[in-house]
Amino acid sequence: MFFTPVLKDEQKHNGPTNMSTTRRKSWQEKLRDKEGLPKILKLEQRFPCYNAVHKMGAAAGDPVILVNPGEVTDIMKRIPKGKLITIVEICKAIARTHRVKGCCSLTTGIFIMTAANAAEEAARQGKDLGIPYWRTLKAEGFLNEKYPGGIRAHRRLLEKEGFTIEAKGKRAFVKDHARALAFET
């Protein structure tokens, strides 16, 4: 019996694709705003972001927002040298702007990582997107292993700005990160 694997692109397009004409989206293209967003939903326990959003103060049934990448990057761009922000502060700021109880931390985290990769991609092309992504941390001040170059590169960029990085197991975080937050939530 002969088995032919079905590629993801074939599944999407219901037929074989010409691989020479198919190209992946660039990080900068992925960073563009999406049709249908922002979108307000009622938080449900089945949502992948439920625990994180609940920890930020939202309960099941509360309105939460799924935002566009542009809203996330607009906040990231405002963080000056010597200051930091975490995904938690970004989510809370977005929720306040939209007058809802929470913001999906999963999509926000994806957009943060996408912004980092888009900024590095643009830099390789001689462009500056003006996104100092390294100043955006994960919750509780942890460095983001999904940034270009991983923890090692993230650490170097933060240390270059005078931040002290400490280890906690296999993870790294900015010492006293809360003192350097750009704005309070």
* CA nearest neighbour of 178 among 159, 163, 156: 163
pLDDT, tens digit (0-9, with 9 covering 90-100), for 45-74: 999 999 999 999 999 999 999 999 999 999
Given a cut of 70, whether residue 16 has pLDDT beyond it is no
pTM of the model: 0.85
Digit-coded pLDDT (tens) for 18-36: 555 788 999 999 999 999 9
* In the chain, where the domains are located: 26-141
Q: Is the pLDDT of residue 9 over 80?
A: no
Give the lowest-confidence range in 88-92, 161-165, 180-184.
180-184
What pLDDT score does 148 carry? Answer: 97
Exposure string (b/e) for 128-147, b if CB count within 10 Å is 16 or more?
Answer: ebebbbbbbbbeebbbbebb
- The pair of three-digit structure tokens given for residue 45, joined into one six-digit string: 């326990």
Locate 135 and state its tokens: 């100043």
